[in-house]
């Protein structure tokens, strides 16, 4: 069990730029989740994949956000035309089945200048 891996750990970018984050789940986990955590708050659900299918998207996920999991393994989260309000920690989690707990990565911290 190598754990959930997220890259990069930190990303600093100028407002208006596009950014992409990567998440590698635990190898046998077919369920993958993205959450966003702003300073002083708990994580908020963004989206969920079962294998390569994106089955749920939060209203928090505006049109500027897109997530993919093309081969049912790693996933990417892209934010286009970043805004100040996008500054947050983006967390990825994976689980083996519906009833099993989610295992979280260490997150990608995004800072918008």
With CB under 8 A as the rule, give the number of residues binding another protein.
28
Q: Does 42 bind another protein (CB under 8 A)?
A: yes
80 contacts: CB under 8 Å, gap ≥ 6: 18, 64, 65, 66
Could you say which of 21, 34, 48, 65 contacts another protein (CB under 8 A)?
48
SS3 for the chain is CCCCEEECCEEEECCCCCEEEEEECCCCCCEEEEEEECCCCCCEEEEEEECCEEEEECCCCCCCEEEECCCCCCEEEEECCCCHHHCEEEEEEEECCCCCCCEECCCEEEEEC
Q: Does 33 bind another protein (CB under 8 A)?
A: yes
Minimum CB distance to another protein, residue 102 (Å) = 7
Q: Does 109 bind another protein (CB under 8 A)?
A: yes
Per CB under 8 A, contacts with another protein among 73-102 are 91, 93, 95, 98-99, 101-102
Q: Does 104 bind another protein (CB under 8 A)?
A: yes
Residues within the interface to another protein (CB under 8 A): 4, 6, 31, 33, 35, 40-45, 48, 50, 55-56, 91, 93, 95, 98-99, 101-107, 109
């Amino acid at each position: 069990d190598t754990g959930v891996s997220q890259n990069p750990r930190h990303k600093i970018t100028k407002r208006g730029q596009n950014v992409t984050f990567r998440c590698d789940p635990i190898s046998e986990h077919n369920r993958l989740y993205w959450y966003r955590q702003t300073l002083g708050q708990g994580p908020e659900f963004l989206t969920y994949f079962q294998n390569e299918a994106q089955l749920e998207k939060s209203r928090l996920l505006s049109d500027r956000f897109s997530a993919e999991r093309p081969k049912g393994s790693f996933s990417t989260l892209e934010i286009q035309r970043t805004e100040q309000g996008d500054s947050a920690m983006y967390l990825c989690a994976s689980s083996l089945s519906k009833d099993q707990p989610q295992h979280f990565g260490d997150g990608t911290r995004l800072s918008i200048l």
